[in-house]
Amino acid sequence: MTLVGCRRHLFVIVVAESEEDELPLCPSCDAPLRPWGYARERGIRLPDGRVRQLRLRRARCRSCRATHVLLPPYCLLRRADSVHTVAAALLDHAAGDGHRRIAERLHRPAATVRGWLRRASERAAFWRRHGVIYAYHLTPDAGPFPPRATALAEALDALGEAARLGQAQHPAWAATDPWSAVALVTGGRLLTPT
> pLDDT of 154-173, one tens digit each?
999 999 999 999 999 988 88
Distance, CA of 175 to CA of 167 (rounded, Å): 8
Q: Estimate to the nearest angstrom the gap between the alpha carbon of 89 and the chain centroid.
A: 15
Query: How would residue 136 be classed by pLDDT, with cut points 50, 70 and 90?
Result: very high
The structural domain count of the chain equals 2
The yes-or-no verdict on residue 6 having pLDDT over 90 is: no
Distance, CA of 79 to CA of 192 (rounded, Å): 9
134 in a domain, yes or no?
yes
- Per DSSP (E only), the strands in 46-194 are 51-61, 67-71
Report pLDDT for 14. 80
Query: How would residue 18 be classed by pLDDT, with cut points 50, 70 and 90?
Result: low
189 in a domain, yes or no?
no
Shared domain for 36 and 62, answered yes or no, is yes
Last residue of a domain, one of 11, 39, 71: 71
Shared domain for 130 and 168, answered yes or no, is yes
Q: To the nearest whole number, what is the mean pLDDT of the chain?
A: 88
- Per DSSP (E only), the strands in the chain are 2-7, 10-14, 33-45, 51-61, 67-71
Shared domain for 114 and 176, answered yes or no, is yes
120 in a domain, yes or no?
yes
Shared domain for 177 and 87, answered yes or no, is yes
The yes-or-no verdict on residue 17 having pLDDT over 80 is: no
Q: Estimate to the nearest angstrom the gap between the alpha carbon of 172 and the chain centroid.
A: 15
Report pLDDT for 173. 86
Please give the residue range of the domain that contains residue 166. 83-182
Percent above pLDDT 90 for the chain: 60
Distance, CA of 133 to CA of 162 (rounded, Å): 8
Q: What angle do CA 165, 78, 60 make, to 5 degrees?
A: 80
Shared domain for 64 and 127, answered yes or no, is no
